[in-house]
Amino acid sequence: MIRRLAIIGVGLIGGSLALALRRAGYCGEVIGCGRGVANLDEAVRLGIIDRYETDPAQAVQGADFVVLAVPLGAMQDTFAVIRDVLAADAVVTDVGSAKGSVVAAARAACGEVPPWFVPGHPIAGTERSGATAAFAELFQGRRVILTPTATTADDARRRVRAAWEVAGAVVEEMPVEHHDEVLAATSHLPHMLAFTLVESLSRMSDSDEIFRYAAGGFRDFTRIASSDPVMWRDIALANRDALLTVTQRYRRDLDELMDAIARGDGQALLRLFQDAKAARDRFCH
């Protein structure tokens, strides 16, 4: 059980975790924190939090479980503000989409990665933001990756794992670097492709017509280009090395595809499309 839960950043992810834990009866009071009161008032109205503070140092007072659900670029400042005012029994976790940068932020703010900090990342989300986007079922049956470091306390790890399981998630652990490589390929690169495709088409002189006739495939492929730009700027910068490596590889493959189209090599195209379809069918079903 969590006595007092502090959610720093009451948006899609932080708000959904609060709702899931509340619905399970797993926590007592829930304190929210953000910069603007409009979103926090909405979070109170929706029953996500009981009350709020706009200063993270106030929000974590007396909390035994703290969730950092702010954009990656805000993590280091948040660690610096809360580190000296946490309750003695507090455990802190985050939900950031890249892990190396958050671990570096914790180290920079605290001198070392503190034993009470358990880095985490729920592999769940939508393209929507803010408290109004939150829903209790978001993590049901979805994976959450924890990337504890050598200094992470076992007890903290157990408590964070337990909370995510109560929220309905399947928890796995992996090293920080491995997480960032895997997520660069499966999430970060697809978002870069979606943003770039929409931007590229919208710059064409006949873009109005292009978008007017865009059908299901275009909508499916580009849904994630409606995601929050600040969040994705932070992710691209935070996971720069792994993202550049996988993007370069993708660019090589795209060049090969273009070469095959240019030389009219139907066999090469068919082989590529068949292999890709088989791989997707295998992992989706």
Q: Which residues contact ligand NAP by CB under 6 A? A: 8-14, 34-36, 39, 69-72, 74, 95-97, 121-122, 125, 129-130, 133, 228, 231, 235
Nearest-approach distance from CB 221 to ligand NAP, in angstroms: 17
Residue among 113 and 124 whose Cβ is closer to ligand NAP: 124
Per DSSP, 265 falls in state -
CA 53 – CA 32 distance, rounded (Å):
6
Q: What is the dihedral sign for C-alpha 50, 56, 58, 60? A: positive
Residue among 11 and 114 whose Cβ is closer to ligand NAP: 11
Residue among 74 and 167 whose Cβ is closer to ligand NAP: 74
Nearest-approach distance from CB 262 to ligand NAP, in angstroms: 37
Instruction: Give the pairing of strands 65-68 and 91-94.
Output: parallel
Nearest-approach distance from CB 27 to ligand NAP, in angstroms: 18
Nearest-approach distance from CB 117 to ligand NAP, in angstroms: 15
Structure tokens at 114: 């503190």
Helix axes 176-183, 100-110, angle to 10 degrees: 140
**CA trace torsion 130, 120, 189, 8 (10° rounding):** 20
Residue among 182 and 201 whose Cβ is closer to ligand NAP: 182
Nearest-approach distance from CB 1 to ligand NAP, in angstroms: 24
* Main-chain phi, psi angles of 8, to 5 degrees: -95, 105
CB 93 within 8 A of CB 158: no
Residue among 127 and 260 whose Cβ is closer to ligand NAP: 127
Give the residue carrying structure tokens 């503070």.
53
